Amino acid sequence: MIRKNPRGDLPQVHPSAFVDPTAILCGLVIVEENVFIGPYAVIRADEMDINGHIDPIIIGAHSNIQDGVVIHSKSGEKVVIGQRTSIAHRAIIHGPCTIGNGVFIGFNSVLFNCQVDDGCVVRYNAVVDGCHLPAGFYVRSTERIGADTDIDSMPQVSADASEFSEDVARTNNEFVSGYKRIQNEF
C-alpha cells in the first residue's frame, strides 16, 4: 500500500521497483530502481521534527527490503539505505541511520542512530546502536555494538560472508523482474 503521511507527502517509487501489495510505504519515501520490497514490510517517513520538517527515507538502487522489515525515523531524521544492500527478514532500521552500499543486515537485527559503511555484514539478532561501523566490519549474530564498543576488536568481513551477502542481493534482485511479471496474476 502506498499512502500519504499526515503532512501530505507521497512515496516515490521507481517504475522498475517491485513493492509487494502487503507492504506499506508511507510519506516521504524514495525507492530507487530495481528495488525489491517484500511482504509486510513497513517503511514510514511520517514523523516530523518540531518545525514540521521530515527528511526522506531513501532505498538505494538494487537493494532489497525483505519480509516484515520496519524502517522508520524519530523526529523526521534521515534514513539512507545504500545500493545493492540487503535488509533481511524482520530487521528494524530506526533513524537517524545511514547504511552504505553492499551491506547485509541479518534477520531480526536492530539498527538505531548509527552509520554502517560499505561492505559491512551484521548477522542475525544483532543490535547496532549509536555508533559508526567503518567499511568492511563484521558483526556476529546476537552481538550488541554501541558507542562504547571497541571497534578495533571486531573482525573484518570474510570472503565467505561477502559471497553470502552478494548471493542474497543477487537472488532478491532477480525477484524484482519475476514478481513484476506475475503481479497481476491471482
Give me the pLDDT at residue 137, please. 93
Give me the pLDDT at residue 183, please. 77
Give me the pLDDT at residue 186, please. 61
Phi-psi region of 94 (alpha: psi -120 to 50; beta: other; left: phi over 0): beta
Give me the pLDDT at residue 31, please. 98
Q: Are strands 104-105 and 138-139 parallel, antiparallel or unpaired?
A: unpaired
**Prior bond to 96 cis, omega within 30?**
yes
The candidate with the shortest Cα–Cα distance to 165, out of 43, 62, 37, 95, is: 62
Tens digits of residue pLDDT in 137-175: 999 999 999 999 988 888 888 888 888 888 888 888 888
Contact status, residue 66 vs residue 41, Cβ threshold 8 Å: yes
Look-up: residue for cell 517484500? 38
pTM here is: 0.93
Confidence of residue 79 (pLDDT cuts 50, 70, 90): very high
Give me the pLDDT at residue 70, please. 98
Tens digits of residue pLDDT in 127-140: 999 999 999 999 99
Out of 33, 47, 143, 166, the active site residue is 47
Domain 2-182 has CATH 3.20.20.450: no
> 65: which DSSP letter?
E
Active site residue 47: yes
Give me the pLDDT at residue 29, please. 98
What is the pLDDT averaged over residues 87-91? 97
Confidence of residue 115 (pLDDT cuts 50, 70, 90): very high
Tens digits of residue pLDDT in 10-64: 999 999 999 999 999 999 999 999 999 999 999 999 999 999 999 999 999 999 9
Give me the pLDDT at residue 118, please. 97
